[in-house]
A and B are shown apart, each in its own frame.
Chain A
């Protein structure tokens, strides 16, 4: 490793613009003639639209256009779709209801977009939006998935009887029943995974610009995957054909899944730009984000785990109800199925598993992937079950886990996944050592002297990243392939541009991807530029989510670098009159191995472009492209240990220690990887202690601002102790597993296991706020 190569803690190239206020986010974009949009949204969770009267609004100062769903539909704009087909256990396809970008006959959740107002200023657009008169006939609403299938519950979409979208199975029910028949112990739990709002700090935004002369659209949008946005807007929403639509995702202020999806607003802004003849910008305010960004989690699960007399797991039964909200968001069907139930084997040898998942419509915001997407839900089930089992059996939670760990690889689970590499005992040992697990009893006694309840809890998580290969995900219902593309352009002076289909919205790709190039060719990081986020520049891409940019995105770059290297060596061999096989690249030069004959990198590049002296038949130039489709998922895993102190008088919890020991395979930039873990931990701890989206029974979101939804703040969190071990991933050329989601996946059960240990009650809902904890402590005393 060089000082800027693979494995180096290089400070980020992109930081300069962010720390000087020169970042360029969608809301910072100004195009000539640009006007501002506001959306009129449903105040009701469920209602019929009887009448929309826009006359008054049209006459308001500065108003350019007031447009409705009927006009949108008349112009042939299509409905939003879910891009992953799930079939129910009876073979029937999922029941997807229609989702018009602007509702015209019925609204199904508070925040459903109904009318767009375009005006000279943002203030004028908002004033006019308030003057739009919509007559609704209110309908009964249902917000709780467990009640939405009841007789008499309101029917949300005509396509989905009893609001049931699908009733899906995985694993083997007969084998699992047989396993339970042999069980010496059965552990049973009802587990709720609380609904969360992703809350990227940059609110969603869109700027649509229709160029009449060229009949061409440009959309600046807060997207994690601009090419997917273009594909979907073109192929399904009929906004414009792909060659007439450019999508740019410039600097994006965090995503966490919520900016994967194509939302109504970007579609409507593009359409409205054509209708009004002006570029149209919309920026969500925070309450709009709370109301309309896809939420995460919201599972209700019953799980049973069977053990033999030696505490080895025999089988697992899981039944989950997944609340998908009012409409099926882009990947909403995959999250509670192939990203959830396929991870229900955890780190353990489980001979038989059966899971059933029912996906259900409710009158709430759409629910889709949020950091971890299904895997946090699976990990929470597994690790709460393991901890509870250990307590019921009176054995060490660490040893119960260790006894059941998968230790031989590859390991085929009963739920599709084939784990390729790992060393779960190594992570467990590292975490126990770092947390001084053995010294816990002493610390607990010391806390008790201060009147505090101290508890410790662990979580051994596994996740699956880099969802692939495309043929496999296609057979499971994915509407897209999950490869990645890259292009490496060596310029005539030897500097390099890497164009990637991945998108960085905080992950530091401009640095790590450049480190990869530095490692290969010795070109300084300053001479390497990473280009992303623009469909006119980058050939194609599937974007960044599911911790895929390292394992898949960088592997595509490696493939393109391989091609560049091969051609560069041919050119150098020709110039040096040597055999191609003897050329090595060292210290920025191509050398004949074992001699001092060499040609500097930049001279080779210049030779490629002057083309004065190239090998016979070789095309001039040095630029290569690649598409990379992985052969398998990757399987990051690790062990987290949380230690808490609870004040029994107030229920206030302090996290006094949090240890993370992760196995991410090979690592390009440890500093950036640690940062990813820190952020994931904060979100997972937030889920466990602070965050929860709450609707009242009429479907009003009670937690629609930072006054009501508790975001983790600096004072809520400790500094973290993080470390990594490494079993390289055999499935990709870099041996990378991915690190973006682990923190959010592994931490909630560690926190709740610690808290329940502290208070001596296993009955504790997330978020375990002080009042919840206080009540749970009181309940143990009665």
Chain B
């Protein structure tokens, strides 16, 4: 067992974890943050994407002890209180989710993607950059639409979006 200490969604948290415990399991089981999901065993599906020190990371590819000392943002910490993050709002407005299982990972990937493309996004780029996230319900059509819309919204209010993210 090792001690793990993290800043998660703005709160300092710590706990003991087996050396083999993945970050995703630490978040879900030790911290009760069950919004981050596990959809596969091979780091393919992206349901577990969170931000570690500001970058999108599949939390099943990282040991909890490896993440110790890092700042982690999960889906639960994305909204600014009652105000949805623009990506969350766009997923709702454009029906970018159905069963909701892949959604947290999609949204965390999308916020990262938008942040890395301050110049804006086009459909081909969004589709290419969603390569690490699998959705079985939506056929991606409305996810792509939502990300493009959020990208436009966030470009228009960059300062505010940055603060929220």
Residues in chain A within 8 A of chain B (CB atoms): 11-12, 14-25, 27-28, 30, 123, 199-203, 251-254, 256, 283, 285-287, 505-508, 671-672, 674-675, 678-683, 705-707, 711-715, 717, 719-720, 743
Contacts and interface: CB of A to CB of B under 8 A. Distances in A.
A705 B20 contact: no
5 contacts: A17-B100, A19-B103, A199-B136, A200-B101, A678-B140
Interface string B56-82: 000000000000000000111011000
Interface of B is mostly: loop
Contacts of B141: 675, 678, 717, 719-720
B95 A201 contact: no
Contacts of B154: none
Contacts, number: 184
A540 B83 CA distance: 38
B52 interface: no
A64 B37 CA distance: 27
Contacts of B133: 713-714
Given A201-B47, A714-B127, A719-B141, A252 B99 contact: yes
Contact of A123 (B20, B32, B101): B20
Contact of A200 (B75, B91, B95, B136): B136
A649 B120 CA distance: 34
Given A12-B92, A123-B18, A675-B138, A719 B123 contact: yes
Contacts of B114: none
B95 A253 contact: no
Contacts of A17: 100
B23 interface: no
Contacts of B34: 21, 24-25, 27-28
Contact of A679 (B36, B103, B137): B137
Give the most central of A19, A286, A682: most B CB within 10 Å: A19
Interface string B98-138: 11111110010000000000000001001110110111111
Given A286-B39, A678-B142, A706-B40, A12 B95 contact: yes
Interface residues of B, number: 56
A714 to B, nearest CB: 4
Contacts of A27: 28, 34, 37-38
A25 B144 contact: no
B130 A202 contact: no
Contacts of A286: 39-42, 45
Given A200-B136, A678-B139, A15 B101 contact: no
Give the most central of A14, A200, A202, A203: most B CB within 10 Å: A202
B1 to A, nearest CB: 12
B140 A21 contact: no
B4 interface: no
Contacts of A674: 95
Nearest to B85: A19
A375 B96 CA distance: 27
Contacts of A19: 75, 84, 88, 91-92, 97, 100, 103-104, 107
B153 interface: no
Give the most central of B20, B33, B47, B88: most A CB within 10 Å: B88
Nearest to B34: A28
Nearest to B87: A19
B79 A506 contact: no
A202 B34 CA distance: 13
B25 to A, nearest CB: 8
A24 B42 CA distance: 24
Contact of B134 (A28, A201, A507, A678): A201
B39 A705 contact: no
A254 B136 contact: yes
Nearest to B74: A21
Contacts of A18: 97, 100, 103-104
A25 B35 CA distance: 10
Contacts of B134: 201, 706, 711, 713
Nearest to A681: B139
B39 A202 contact: yes
Given A15-B91, A27-B38, A201 B84 contact: no
Contacts of B126: 714
Contacts of A25: 34, 37, 101
Contacts of B32: 30
Nearest to A680: B139
A690 to B, nearest CB: 12
Contacts of A679: 98, 136-139
Give the most central of A287, A671, A678: most B CB within 10 Å: A678
Interface in B131-165: 131, 133-145
Given A123-B18, A679-B98, A715-B130, A16 B40 contact: no
A715 B41 contact: no
Contact of B40 (A12, A682, A705): A705
Contact of A11 (B78, B92, B104, B140): B92
B140 A506 contact: no
B44 interface: yes
A659 to B, nearest CB: 13
Nearest to B101: A253
B101 A21 contact: no
Contacts of A254: 98-99, 101, 136-137
Contact of A22 (B35, B41, B101): B35
B80 to A, nearest CB: 11
B47 A20 contact: no
A20 B35 contact: yes
Contacts of A14: 100
Contacts of A252: 99
Give the most central of A679, A711, A712: most B CB within 10 Å: A679
B93 interface: yes
A208 B161 CA distance: 43
B99 A506 contact: yes
B101 A201 contact: yes
B125 to A, nearest CB: 10
Give the most central of B33, B41, B93, B102: most A CB within 10 Å: B41
Given A21-B33, A717-B127, A719-B123, 16 more contacts: A19-B104, A21-B35, A28-B34, A30-B32, A201-B45, A201-B102, A201-B135, A202-B37, A202-B101, A253-B100, A254-B136, A286-B41, A678-B139, A706-B42, A711-B44, A714-B128
B2 to A, nearest CB: 14
A15 B142 CA distance: 14
A251 B75 contact: no
A310 B143 CA distance: 47
A20 B128 contact: no
Give the most central of A11, A20, A21, A287: most B CB within 10 Å: A21
A715 B101 contact: no
Given A671-B95, A678-B142, A285 B76 contact: no
B136 to A, nearest CB: 5
Contact of B45 (A30, A123, A680, A706): A706
A20 B41 contact: no
B92 A16 contact: yes
A18 B84 CA distance: 12
Contacts of B20: 123
Interface in B1-54: 18, 20, 28, 32-42, 44-45, 47
Contacts of B93: 11
Contacts of B40: 285-286, 705-706
